[in-house]
Structure 1
Amino acid sequence: MAGDPGLFTPRSVTWQMHGDPMMWVAGIRALHLQALHPRAVRGVLQNSDFRRDAWGRLMRTANFVGTTTYGTTEAAERAGARVRKIHSMLRATDPDTGEQYRIDDPDLLLWVHCAEIDSYLHVLRRSGYPLSDAQADRYIREQRAGARLVGLDPDAVPADRSELAAYFDRVRPELAAGAGAREVDAFLRRPPVPRVLVPLRGLLWRRVAGLAYASLPPYAHELYGRPAPAPDVVTRRLRRTGALLRAVPARVRWQLPPKHILRAMARLGPAARPAPFKLERQVAILDGPGEGDEHSDGGDGTRWGRRD
């Protein structure tokens, strides 16, 4: 394999997982979850063009994930440095106290990171992606490298599912569905689109965004005040959606911009192709006794069946 394999390398769980189409559903779930931290969502709304250029912001986030996963080490480090520089210059103001605080506060960065990683892991596993418990833990450990890129101390970031669950238990009392969260929720339910795309929004986006919301942990539904279907119904819908999206040939999906995976394969050769079966081969090596059974849980502790 020629060329720089990048920050994670084609042998990582991250490399395989991030090529799955359900990452888009997981990304929307992450936005819903992140918005429940009042200081974090206030920082976004006060310092970004989210309202005017929400699609651009979503694509820039996807580009960052793609660059840091599949780009060269140099490209990943540059992307991280750019994010750190931007965050270091931004401040937000608490409207109740007038207090100003930094956007790159480690507590806020950690919340954003954990909400993302939990969402990626939760949605992919629950939708049928073949990931054992040991591989899930390995993915969380790998993502400490991504946390470093945005300015976090890797040693202060959860390293496995139990630590991630403990983190959510600690931070949960701070969460609330305030004005900022409801603004993000309203946008995700009905994002502004050109008039010609309004029917498509109602047909496709509403279902995808609704599924992402439904996959949130129960406490998030309670905070938002919007109910969700029963967990087993949500799991079936996630599995159907995952099966449908994964039926689209990967080479077709990867043609969509910015084509990070195709560029990585051109740089490293066809052996670098992300594929779930590569993880299935690793199960015997990674899993210890009692791991990788047919039931597993995500970072929020929700349990679901992995096989029908």
Structure 2
Amino acid sequence: MATRIFIDGEVGTTGLQIKSRLATRTDLDFISLGEEKRKDAAARREALNEADVVVLCLPDDAAREAVALIDNDRTRVIDASTAHRVADGWTYGFPEMTPSQKQQISGAMRVTNPGCYPTGMIALVRPLVDAGLVPSGWPLTVNAVSGYSGGGKGMIAEFEDETASNFTKDNYRTYALTLAHKHVPEMQAYGGLAHPPLFAPAVGRYAQGMIVDVPLQLWALDGAPTPDALRDVLATHFEGRQFVSVASAAETDAMKGLDPEGLNGTNRLKLFVFGNEATQQARLVALLDNLGKGASGQAVQCLNIMIGAEEGLGVDL
């Protein structure tokens, strides 16, 4: 029997991407509301309770409201919003984060899809914290740049619609200058950190793709680990994973730069350790599509795990 799926918010940026990835699936039965019923509470309640799995692609408050409308103990939920990222009773939907995470997701009733920036940061940091190379109390800085699609329809219009009142010609913009970005709590919680990292995000004039960069002064860490030691821990942690890979030393040594659009349209996440042994410094860098492994691709991956389908089915566009 096909799994009944309801994407609440299917016309938003993430919803459209998820729908595209699932469009050819024959093992799924889609519940869809017409435009006139998408904001009808009774129609949404019926759809939410009729579905086997609900995928929420909504603003935070609307996502909380949707969960409250589910009055049965059968419907499972994947929430792509920030609303439940660090909430009790929700499983974090990053299957590669720990050795047991995929199994936890497979049996979970409530899964919160990770943020795009945290996916890259946690992949770089959590294995090193767990291995003891980076202390949980270390004062981490996270620099990152994303395509403007990460800001949803509003920011897309700001960069693409020349008739919009807020149209911008900015090529690059740093933001979250109050140091209170909504992704910081999950970075701290799932990065295994005792303190919030200093997060410095930016947006560039390109649609999608992301680089997350964590600099480390290796000389200040206990034992002064080498770049190779960091790379070995990451490579061991993600060995055999379908969607996460670690670049070799030979590959990083040959690189002159990194294109943030390099993995667009995929659910892949690639990690790099750039190091200078003479200065005992390193840059941990993650490359991903903010709409792929950073959003809709990862949601589809979690859906596959939850319903027992092949993990990679339909995750790439």
TM-score by length of 1: 0.28
Greater share of residues in strand? 2
Greater share of residues in helix? 1
**Structure with max Cα Rg:** 2
Higher RCO structure, 1 or 2 (CA under 8 Å, sep 6+): 1
TM-score by length of 2: 0.28
